[in-house]
Structure 1
């Protein structure tokens, strides 16, 4: 009886590690938003001077809740893909690529809506692009997902 095992290429292992790092950012963002809701209120009040205190508070609560839901979904997706990428299934590479590139696009919204994460957004975006490159560029990785 012959048993064949496919070794996970180093680039895929790196991509998995970076994807886990991205997942951790999706865990941290809602926590920071919740902890700094006062700062978020101040930003909303500055951007919308016509809002009353109740409307500012409501807007901040909506931002925190929607941020928690959005980043919670991305956290689950990233963790699932971190685990599944080692299997070499083509759908995992495609879903990782689409999710990471869309996340980079959506980060433009985060950038424009609050200065709270201006330092982090470009760093996480660069990591997400690196994940995509690691999953498509190296020949060993391409073979891994086509065998």
Structure 2
């Protein structure tokens, strides 16, 4: 066999090896990218209670600006409290900023939704909840950290 025949036979074979290697590298890079790609943040869930109520706050996306907050209110046995007036006030501790209380609208059995609670800077905040039911008023404070 001549040198010319050997070079011709090696050409297509080496191309197949190069293509297969490139495919393997692309698959490895895609898999690594999928593993390290940032996922959407999980909702933040804060739980608290009073002698009369259990309260859960859910914040889908803790961020600067106006943030929606869901509130679930039940009695101590877990039955939803439907007839309540729920308000949330955000207070920034370091700078002494106090936002206006935001009324939460009923959104289901024992559930309330507060639209556009203002969190206008990073750092520690207090979320002050007022729950006004037929049996009295509960006031709660939950800490929250807002990052940049």
Q: Indicate the structure whose relative CO is greater, using CA pairs within 8 Å and at least 6 residues apart.
A: 1
State TM-score, norm by structure 1: 0.25
Looking at CA atoms only, which structure, 1 or 2, has the larger radius of gyration? Answer: 2
Q: TM-score, normalised by structure 2?
A: 0.25
Higher percent of residues as strand: 2
